[in-house]
Amino acid sequence: MKRDRDDFEDDEKPQIGSSSRTPYTISHDTTTSSYPNSTTNQNPYASKNNNNNNNKEQDRFLPIANVGRIMKKVIPGNGKISKDAKQTVQECVSEFISFVTGEASDKCQREKRKTINGDDILWAITTLGFEDYVNPLKIYLAKYRDIEGEKLNVPKQQPMEQQQQQQQQQQQQQRMHHDQNSPNIPYNSVYSTANLITQPPFISGDPPFPLPFSQSSIQTGSLPQHDHVEDHW
């Protein structure tokens, strides 16, 4: 059975140094190198990390490892994806982001708004023909907004499993909750997601017993329902 000589399963092969990635002038049968900075293989072009053009190029695309992982999820287990296919999809994704952002940005300009928000993205995605994505995205966004809303009601020093105490404090903070019930205030902050996205889930080994006072020594900023997002996604 004829076997493809293309490299596959290979994410660390050094890339061409120019800012234009197509067309390739090298053949596909170079052996793979497992070290991103290796210059010992036969590829005459600069390796991935020691060239300004390459760094800029990486900024233009999502990481190929992430892209490749998502691709593999939807093909059969014995399927293979060549490196050039992954790179092409990588480029397409960036083009998709630009395309949708451009539409969303135009809409904001027409409506004299300065900040592109999640709803603008949803609108642009629908307008450009990807309306099938909208329902899953709305669900995803709603979960995220739930968590952000919870985050505003719960003091930062609470660990995840002390939910009894959290509920008591939630009742105390109902007033705050009402004040912040306006749908736009929690969501338009540009950096409001910093805590959400940069912190790993907090998993404590402490036994879950209720305390009469807040644990000010534990400053995790984590969220009681943080793991809900991970369960689904």
Which of residues 42, 78, 171, 182 is near another protein by CB under 8 A? Answer: 78
Residue 6 touches another protein, criterion: CB under 8 A = yes
Question: Which DSSP letter does residue 54 get?
Answer: H
Q: Closest distance between another protein and the C-beta of residue 169, in Å? A: 24
Angle, helices 118-127/83-110, rounded to nearest 10 degrees: 110
Which tokens go with 20?
A: 């234009």
Question: Which DSSP letter does residue 225 get?
Answer: T
Site for another protein in 18-47 (CB under 8 A): 22-23, 36
- Number of residues lying near another protein (CB under 8 A): 85
Nearest Cα to 90, choosing from 105, 76, 69, 74?
69
Site for another protein in 130-169 (CB under 8 A): 130, 133, 136-137, 140-141, 144-145
| Part in contact with another protein (CB under 8 A); list of ranges 39-47, 75-83, 170-178, 207-215 | 75-83
Which of residues 44, 60, 157, 168 is near another protein by CB under 8 A? Answer: 60
Neighbours of 153 (CB within 10 A): 16
Which of residues 38, 41, 58, 204 is near another protein by CB under 8 A? Answer: 58
Nearest Cα to 84, choosing from 136, 152, 13?
13
Q: Which is nearer to another protein, 116 or 218 (CB)?
A: 116
CB 106 within 8 A of CB 191: no
Q: Closest distance between another protein and the C-beta of residue 216, in Å? A: 25
Whole-angstrom Cα Rg for the chain: 24
Residue 128 touches another protein, criterion: CB under 8 A = yes
Phi, psi for residue 43 in degrees, rounded to 5: -70, 115
Site for another protein in 176-205 (CB under 8 A): 187-193, 196-200
Q: Closest distance between another protein and the C-beta of residue 84, in Å? A: 4
| Part in contact with another protein (CB under 8 A); list of ranges 39-47, 70-78, 149-157, 202-210 | 70-78
Q: Which is nearer to another protein, 147 or 218 (CB)?
A: 147
CA distances from 59 to 14, 55, 98, 206 (A): 16, 6, 13, 41
Which tokens go with 195?
A: 């805590």
Site for another protein in 92-121 (CB under 8 A): 92-102, 104-105, 109, 114-118, 120-121
Neighbours of 189 (CB within 10 A): 12
